[in-house]
Amino acid sequence: MQLLPIGIYLLLCLILAYAGRKSRIGAFGIFLCCVIFTPLLVGLILALVRPFPKKASSGSSADS
């Protein structure tokens, strides 16, 4: 019965590691932080420091 909560915890850690694979510390670093701290805290930090996606330029110039 103790394996289900541990499995859910590790699954959340893996999901966050996948989401943070392009971060500065990488997927393994995110996974380790999740295991040491908590996936909720690391997920919140990851969401706050994740850069905004770049908007695509329209390609037309106003000077022409």
Domain segments of the chain as ranges = 7-49
pLDDT at 46: 87
pLDDT at 25: 87
pLDDT at 2: 86
CB atoms within 10 A of CB 20: 24
pLDDT at 61: 58
pLDDT at 4: 92
Please name the residue ranges forming H helices in the chain.
3-19, 26-36, 39-49
pLDDT at 58: 65
31 burial type by CB count under 10 A (0-12 exposed, 13-18 middle, 19+ buried): buried
Q: Report, as ranges of residue numbers, the positions in the chain whose pLDDT lies below 50.
A: none
